[in-house]
Amino acid sequence: MSADKKWQVPDFMKENQVDSIYKFLASIDWTERWLQYILCFHIVLCLLIILTRKFLKTQIVVFTVLLCSVLSAEKLNELLAQNWAVFARQQYFDSNGMFISLVWSLPVLINAVIILINWFLYSGNMLVKVKRKELEEKSKKE
């Protein structure tokens, strides 16, 4: 295989060939083990977030790590684009980062939003508890 062919992005990955996210995701070879591991990671992470919903400090750490991973996705995309042949059968990592955005960053951001929703619900519940206590104290005084 020539060096030019090795680093060439497949036709289905080129920007002018992609007209929907569904077609793009459908064109990915999901039988590759590393892609299955990424998918499993996102599912396990979502379950972990749901199971640790009452442990705010744990979720703060998870939230911070998630956002840092999204922040570093561009550098990760460059690194993976240079070394894709080591772990993949096809070159998925385009220069615009569409693949890593859809397969890594989007699920990570969805998990981060789940954490934020949990924090909003927790804050709302705390506000209700504080207000109830305040009203109880006020009624005791009267």
Q: Is residue 66 classed exposed, middle or buried when 0-12, 13-18 and 19+ CB atoms within 10 A define those classes?
A: buried
Contact 100, 73 (CB under 8 A): yes
Q: What percent of the chain has pLDDT over 70?
A: 87
Tens digit of each residue's pLDDT (9 = 90 or more) over 113-125: 999 999 999 999 9
The rounded distance, in Å, linking the Cα atoms of 114 and 50 is 8
Token reading at 88: 């993949």
The rounded distance, in Å, linking the Cα atoms of 36 and 87 is 12
pTM (predicted TM-score):
0.77
Q: Is residue 6 classed exposed, middle or buried when 0-12, 13-18 and 19+ CB atoms within 10 A define those classes?
A: exposed
The rounded distance, in Å, linking the Cα atoms of 119 and 129 is 15
The amino acid occupying position 80 is L
Average pLDDT, the chain: 87
Contact 111, 51 (CB under 8 A): no
Check residue 33 and give its pLDDT. 92
Tens digit of each residue's pLDDT (9 = 90 or more) over 38-90: 999 999 999 999 999 999 999 999 999 999 999 999 999 999 989 888 888 88
pLDDT-based confidence at 28, cuts 50/70/90?
A: confident
Check residue 9 and give its pLDDT. 53
